[in-house]
Structure 1
Amino acid sequence: MRSLFALILLCLSPAIFAAPKADLWPDWQPHNAASTVQVDHSRWQQLLDKYLVTQPTQTLFRYRQVSDSDRYELGRYVRDLSQSDPRQLNRREQFAYWVNLYNALTVKLILDNYPVSSITKLGGLFSFGPWDEEVITINGKALTLNDIEHRILRPIWQDPRIHYVVNCASLGCPDLQPQAFTAANAEALLEQSAKRFINSDKGVAVRGNRVRLSSIYDWYGSDFGTRAQLQRHLNRYRDGKPVTLNSVSYDYNWALNEAR
């Protein structure tokens, strides 16, 4: 019965993923512009160094190989972040904090439920994935992955490149970056992530006069603007001949981004 519900939800996924809008949670808007605190993301970096596999057009994660001690270190990293107050950080440190936390929580969810063929298999019986599940408590407030992406990152920073750096553990998703985000490297990684995704077939695939785009550009179309604005955005990062968005379709691969 559960598999039947999962199949129904999978068929309805485009409608589900069109729903989340940028809706600011005001409690997380404050920041301390004068703060010089640097958050330690070294545990997350060590996990990426050990288990992330970078291929020409895809990064994959060795979920099966993660040791018990490294699972513990990941949990410790997440706990350490949960025990700090991101509102006391400056904006650049905040951005790195939230992006790394989102990605670390996603990897932890897969590891906690492994083996699993897709992140969409997680969550409650009538859920398409775990994005509305409360996964962490910070400053006494329970947060979901959707809270982090759609109520903190998107409304505060208002940068469409955010969609290229929060990873949903799926083959269709923009790559999990091999570097942990920091205040110093965030802009470079945003640019690198956008370029890599837009020049991959999972981001933009051109076949003659037809263009197949990632469903991200459909689900979050408001972040990229009109079709003309989206076209300019894509061509800013594309190598070779500019793309023309006359005949467009959308696709997304929810299979787990696992290295075999």
Structure 2
Amino acid sequence: MRTLLSLCLLMVSNILWAAPKADLWPYWQQSNETNRVTVSHVLWQQLLDKYLIQQPQQTLFRYRAVSDKDKWELDRYIRSLTASDPRQYRKNEQFAYWVNLYNALTVRLILDNYPLKSITKLGGFFTFGPWDEELITINGKQLSLNDIEHRILRPIWQDARIHYVVNCASLGCPDLQPQAFTASNSEDLLDQAADRFVNSTKGVKLTGDKVRLSSIYDWYGEDFGSTAALQSHLNQYRKGAPVQLNHISYDYDWTLNETE
């Protein structure tokens, strides 16, 4: 009976969750390229420096160790971002703003609900994870994580590397980056994140002529293009022998990316 119930719940989860399409929210397209103001991400960087642990194949977060003071500082950082109108900034400044905000909100979600084994346990019974929950208000507009990723970042910047830098607090996800994004370092960090993920076993694992890819490449296939385009993308970053995408399977680990 328990096995049957588990299978039913898994089937419901698969039905309820499907990777969202990029769907532009036009309100957020505006920018001011003459504005030289920069957004401070110092508070976010301090949190990363203190609690993010880098391992060869994975970065892990010490959720259990985060002090009440640092939780308050995280809230203060998020409040500082949401109190401003990102449309007044340059596009490069906006990109860093949205990526850092997404990742900070994800960490706060975990901290607010800790302990838990997976972010997918959050949300209602008939939802798969918290991504559609409205978490913040900016300019009177309520936004969810899905709004930031799929209605702002993906459609406005149209860069597949975005999938390497928005973190879902899971072992299967591309790493939470140890550096906060800024207008000046975003391009380098995007390439570094792509390089690290493509050369990790959670991104690409070769066994003979078989290739196991992260499910990200399946869920967001429209962003990576045809099989030939995806193969070219992977080999742009791969070290060693080129990947041949002849026999592909997909996998993803939703276990929380935590460490003691």
Same fold (TM over 0.5): yes
Output the CA distance in 2 between the equivalents of 1:223 and 1:231.
Answer: 13
Q: What does residue range 50-65 of structure 1 map to in structure 2 within 5 Å? A: 50-65=50-65
1:47 aligned partner: 47
Change in Cα spacing, 1:97 to 1:130, as seen in structure 2 (3 Å) is same
1:164 aligned partner: 164
Contact 1:18 1:220 in 2 (8 A): no
1:68 aligned partner: 68
Residue 157 of structure 1, CA deviation: 0.1
Contact 2:16 2:126 in 1 (8 A): no
Q: Which has the larger displacement, 82-91 or 5-14?
A: 5-14
Q: Deviations over 1:210-247 (max 9, x none)?
A: 00000000000000000000000000000000000000
Output the CA distance in 1 between the equivalents of 2:59 and 2:31.
Answer: 33
TM-score after normalising by structure 2: 0.96
SS at match of 1:136: strand
1:35 aligned partner: 35
2:177 aligned partner: 177
1:128 aligned partner: 128
Output the CA distance in 1 between the equivalents of 2:18 and 2:165.
Answer: 19
Change in Cα spacing, 1:195 to 1:120, as seen in structure 2 (3 Å) is same
Q: Provide runs of 4+ in structure 1 moved above 3 Å.
A: 4-19
Change in Cα spacing, 1:5 to 1:136, as seen in structure 2 (3 Å) is farther
Contact 2:212 2:248 in 1 (8 A): yes
Residue 42 of structure 1, CA deviation: 0.3
Letter in 2 for 1:148: I
1:92 aligned partner: 92
Residue 124 of structure 1, CA deviation: 1.1
Output the CA distance in 1 between the equivalents of 2:11 and 2:186.
Answer: 35
Letter in 2 for 1:126: F
Q: What does residue range 77-88 of structure 1 map to in structure 2 within 5 Å? A: 77-88=77-88
Consecutive unaligned residues in structure 1, runs of 5 or more = none
Contact 1:213 1:249 in 2 (8 A): yes
TM-score after normalising by structure 1: 0.96
2:245 aligned partner: 245
Q: Deviations over 1:156-196 (max 9, x none)?
A: 00000000000000000000000000001000000000000
